Amino acid sequence: MPAHRLRFDVNCSILFADLPLLERPAAAKAAGFDAVEFWWPFAAAVPRASHVEAFIEAIHDAGVQLVGLNFFAGDMPGGDRGVVSWPAHSAEFRENVELVAVIGAATGCRSFNALYGNRVADVPLGTQEETAVANLAFAATAMARIGGTVLVEAVSGPQPYLLRTAADVVAVLDRVRTEREVRNLAFLADLYHLTVNGDDLTKVIAEHADRIGHVQIADAPGRHEPGTGEIDLDGHLHQLVQAGYRGWVGLEYVPSGPSEHSFDWLPRGHRAADADQTSEGER
């Protein structure tokens, strides 16, 4: 797969999962990558300071750049997919935002993913939407202090996650911008989730490329590495480049075998952040 000048990072919350979490940045570096991203790496919204310090140290010691980090998203193993729209968790989310800003300042990370959350049965939908607008604006204001951007994505799966399509995400971003007058929000285009939910990726990129702040990839079906499914990931990445995207592409897939072997689709010379990734057609 040609890389089309894009820079790739490894999501160390889903890849190298057989290793202790703090060893994964070094494993990504050993595989040839200079950048990593993580889901929220702790069980609690505000863990012990020593745990946060150890996480930051692991990033620095590995010699990689942290380019993406999720805010606290609730009990992910239990099925939660974010708390941004949950009124009962607003205080917890906002406390987490302040800690994320500290981690961002310490690591140089500037992209932060805010998972919107599942539908809460006993809360009016309008209340969830209003809560999300307020919390996203709060997060964006906090991240602006370090030059950061808050990302919002559509998510697939059986849970009743409220944002399913690119149009859903863009509508939320527009509402926050209009009602709260914050600008540092962007669309996280996860090409796997969008495909599984029925979006036409060609149309999504054509219509929303200027709103995309980060990209994540996995093939479908299966959510494994590129080449194991039916998504034309090479074609869609090329379309993104042609539309002007120059950000990171997060490898957020479940490897079909050992993680280090799942990168064979990407030549090692294309994995470093400063690699010459110009395709033949662009020379």
Any idea what the CATH number is for the domain that residue 76 is in?
Answer: 3.20.20.150
Could you tell me if residue 1 is inside a domain?
A: no
| Residue range(s) defining the domain that contains residue 202 | 7-282
Please say whether the beta carbons of 38 and 70 come within 8 A.
yes
Could you tell me if residue 230 is inside a domain?
A: yes
Please say whether the beta carbons of 193 and 153 come within 8 A.
yes
* Amino acid 5: pLDDT: 73
Could you tell me if residue 115 is inside a domain?
A: yes
Token couple for 204: 């999504």
* Amino acid 4: pLDDT: 52
**Cα–Cα–Cα angle for 113, 20, 37, nearest 5°?**
20
Token couple for 81: 């997919």
Query: Distance (Å, rounded) from C-alpha 210 to C-alpha 148?
Result: 17
Could you tell me if residue 260 is inside a domain?
A: yes
* Amino acid 184: pLDDT: 98
* Amino acid 278: pLDDT: 38
pTM: 0.95
Could you tell me if residue 19 is inside a domain?
A: yes
How many secondary structure helices (H) and strands (E) does the chain include?
8, 8
Is 225 annotated as catalytic?
A: no
Could you tell me if residue 2 is inside a domain?
A: no
Contacts of 16 (CB under 8 A, 6+ apart): 10, 23, 24, 27, 28, 259
Catalytic residue (choose from 153, 207, 225, 260): 153
* Amino acid 283: pLDDT: 24
Could you tell me if residue 184 is inside a domain?
A: yes
Backbone angles phi and psi of 141, in degrees to 5: -65, -40
Q: What is residue 4's DSSP assignment?
A: T
For the chain, how many structural domains are there in total?
Answer: 1
* Amino acid 159: pLDDT: 77
Could you tell me if residue 61 is inside a domain?
A: yes
Is 37 annotated as catalytic?
A: no
- In tens digits, the chain (283 residues) has pLDDT values of 444 579 999 999 999 999 999 999 999 999 999 999 999 999 999 999 999 999 999 999 999 999 999 999 999 999 999 999 999 999 999 999 999 999 999 999 999 999 999 999 999 999 999 999 999 999 999 999 999 999 999 999 887 999 999 999 999 999 999 999 999 999 999 999 999 999 999 999 999 999 999 999 999 999 999 999 999 999 999 999 999 999 999 999 999 999 999 999 999 999 999 875 433 333 2
Query: Distance (Å, rounded) from C-alpha 99 to C-alpha 147?
Result: 15
Place of tokens 């941004």: 84
Catalytic residue (choose from 129, 252, 260, 280): 252
